[in-house]
Structure 1
Amino acid sequence: MTPILPKITDEHRRRLLVTRHLLTPATRAATPEQVADALIALHATDPASVYLSVAARMARPSVADLERALYTDRSLLRMLCMRRTMFVVPRALAPVIDASTARTVAARERRNLLKVLTEQLGHDARWLADTEQAVLAALAERGEASAVQLADAVPRLQEQIVVSPGKPYEARPRLTSRVLSVMAAEGRIRRGRPLGTWASSQFRWTVAEPHPELPADQARAELATAYLSAFGPATTEDLTWWTGWTRTDTRKALALTDTVDVDLAHGPGHALPAQLDAPPAPEPAAALLPALDPTPMGWRHREWYLDPAHAPELFDRSGNIGPTVWWNGRAVGGWAQRPDGEIVTHLLTTTGIGRDARAAVEAEAARLAAFLGTTRIRPSFRTPLERRLTAPDAPTP
């Protein structure tokens, strides 16, 4: 006889999302570390997204507080890991993420780099190892250095390769970024303070501190548990997509956890025992989340918090989400910063959106504008709605 699985409704999941992801005034964090712990990892492809994801969830957001965590205390670390994506992760979780995902990504990056070096420049693994040692020596001498400074100190980094040969967009970049990226993926060097503002993507580099090495199977089980703690209930497909693991590795990891099989609105899923009882309804609350925020990018199946009809407006062609407006655990619209600094919002639905909701969205827009001040941002991955909101002829809302 087939066992009857506990049913988890979409409303149940949204209540968990709002409270665990700190999307109400009552749940807002006091420190950036608390935000990162709640979300496991902050998307860092756009440097500004890290700050905006934290600011949306802190009672008193501060650029200086996040810079302290990233560059002084180093309690938050940048890592190339899940889905070959740059994240900022809690220091305590870094060994787990390294063993479960980053090692595989780093090995692939090294193979790809060696292939380019061999085929285009005739260099071998020994040449690359010597180059990397020279980079480490230069950083040990200087403490930190930009990519340009390292290329001056290690002339081998100035050699050029051909990218997309024969294409209209053919390019001939230096080896600098490729070599540094591989070393960073392996945890040998790390990104330090940016050269410009906090929204800059030009970083200084420094030698990374080593961390304990864990067995891959153990690490995957720990990361699966952490994921479900932050994002569960979720499906096998959600976890596979979020981590970038194979389906086999995902199933093995789940088998080593204390999860419970559950029945979600669109099929079978997994939950931790503490998630089986629906929590009380949280206070109605709005949130303005940045492009590639961890919340909308946390699941492969999104229909329980995002109307599929709105996805073409909020995602680019590669599946990257832009800035979103949230109300009570649902993504209901988008926002953008115009060149003059104004934060403009647009709601894609009126369902469940009354006067209080609109006032709350306006209040969040004002809070975000105050945090940004004179800083101007623009997502690297632009969506149809974000483009329209920032167009020169866009109407004033």
Structure 2
Amino acid sequence: MTVLDDRALNRATLARQLLLERADLPAPDAIAHLCGLQAQEPQEPFTGLWTRLRAFDPADLSTALTARAAVRMHLMRRTVHLVTAADALAWRARHHAMLRQRVLGVYRRELADTDLDDLAAAGRAVLADGRARTTTELVQALDRPVPFRRAIGEMLVAALVPVVQAPPRGLWRTKAGVRNVSVASWLGRDIDPLPTDPADPVGQALVRRYLAAFGPASTSDLRAWSGLAGLPAAVKAVRGELVAFRDGRGRELLDLPDAPRPDPDTPAPVRFLPAFDNAILGYHDRGRIIDDAHRGISVAGERAVLVDGRVAATWALDGDTVTVTPLRRLPAPDRTAVLEEGEHLASFLTDGDSQRARLAD
């Protein structure tokens, strides 16, 4: 079985994640290809698409949200993701049990005496009028005593009732709190019911889509990305369609046969990633893109800079200046390339008012 080292896996990841070469895609098509973008920080997906798409216009993403072609909702790993409306409808039911269990993992004691089915019915009834409500407003509208308001609210909007976060939250340069509206009201139809087929057809689609955006990858990588329990029936059902490799640690990696796996020596341009980017978080073993010594930055909300395809620095916008903090010594050509790309990013983030970038001491 062919062994793929970290550099080969890195170039495959960059190609799938549209980080090896910027793509000519509309924002909704890019969101679909990437299986969504992690979006608990509302402005971060704009940088995530800018770094991946040619001539990206932030208005395109804002329009996708207001036109209801894309939505923000709790999905993979119980994290807020920006996904297409079609994927929200198709995937939400498959994630329901996981979402419920993850909220219970945090609030099991507070919810011990709560009838969750009854709570879900009450929440749907309140949201049936199509109004967007804050979580507090939703909980207050329930016709019952609520001893644990935070736990009840989290269970309702993150697990029990399929909801999306209504604009203006998530629009370009807009600060707005979370207001929840039911998927059925916002998209004009309810989520797709989960098929009873034991071969898990929805899971099969997830496996194929994940590999298209992240492969080659292991089943543990798939589990880390989705938050689902490995999708064993789905993986078994599609295994005959796939090709298999090994990584340098001996793990089996699965992939679509015709998916891009570039030469490991393919040059990789500098790329600035937003906070919580799935190019890093979409794997259990992140060694293909980030050193173990720096793994913590990927979950701490720090924004990463890729140099030769790997995380080599963090960045922040300080006023009108993109400040880059190297994690290792950067040779002069890399420093120049980082500053040039940082200037382009500064221009994007300031609507052309600034092209300032600097390396921190």
TM-score, reference length from structure 1: 0.74
Taking the TM superposition and a 5 Å limit, the aligned residue runs for 1:65-80 are 65-72=60-67, 74-80=68-74
Given the alignment, which residue of 241, 245, 255 partners 2:236? 255
1:133 maps onto 2:136 in alignment: no
Equivalence for 2:40 = 45
Cα distance in 1 for partners of 2:122, 2:22 equals 50
Question: 2:4 & 2:260 partners in 1: Cα distance?
Answer: 7
Relative distance call for 1:145 and 1:221 in structure 2 (3 A) is same
**Identity level (%):** 23
Question: Could you tell me whether the CA contact under 8 Å between 1:6 and 1:262 is conserved in 2?
Answer: yes
| CA drift at 1:259 | 1.9
Give the letter for the 1:253 counterpart: A
| Aligned twin of 2:347 | 370
Amino acid at match of 1:251: P
Trace 1:306-321 onto structure 2 (pairs within 5 A). 306-312=290-296, 314-315=297-298, 319-320=299-300
- Is the Cα contact below 8 Å between 1:228 and 1:234 reproduced in 2? yes
- 2:54 — aligned with what? 59
Answer whether contact 1:132 1:179 (CA < 8 A) is retained.
no
For 1:213 and 1:126, the matched residues in 2 are separated by: 19
Instruction: Note if contact 1:261-1:270 (Cα within 8 Å) is conserved in structure 2.
Output: yes
Q: Over aligned residues, Cα RMSD in angstroms?
A: 3.4
Matched, 1:349 2:344: no
SS at match of 1:222: helix
2:310 to 330, 337, 341: 330
Distance 2:104 2:147 in 1: 15
Match of 1:194 in 2: 168
Unaligned runs of 5+ in 2: 352-357
Deviations along 1:131-190, one digit per CA (max 9) or x if unpaired, are 5413323x3xxx5455566577x3648x6545xxxxxxxxx759556534445xx32x32
Equivalent residue in structure 2 for 1:232, among 215, 221, 243: 215
Q: Aligned in 2, Cα 1:252/1:130: closer, same or farther, shift over 3 Å?
A: closer
Instruction: Please give the TM-score of this superposition, normalised by the length of structure 2.
Output: 0.80
Bigger CA drift: 191-200 or 34-43? 191-200
Task: Return 5+ residue gaps in structure 1 as ranges.
Answer: 163-171, 375-393
Q: How many residues align?
A: 343
1:382: which partner in 2?
A: none
Aligned-partner Cα distance in 2 for 1:27–1:395: 24
My pick for the range that moved more, 88-97 or 109-118, is: 109-118
Secondary structure, counterpart of 1:57 in structure 2: coil
Aligned to 1:205: 180
Shift of the 235–201 alpha-carbon distance from structure 1 to 2, 3 Å rule, reads: farther
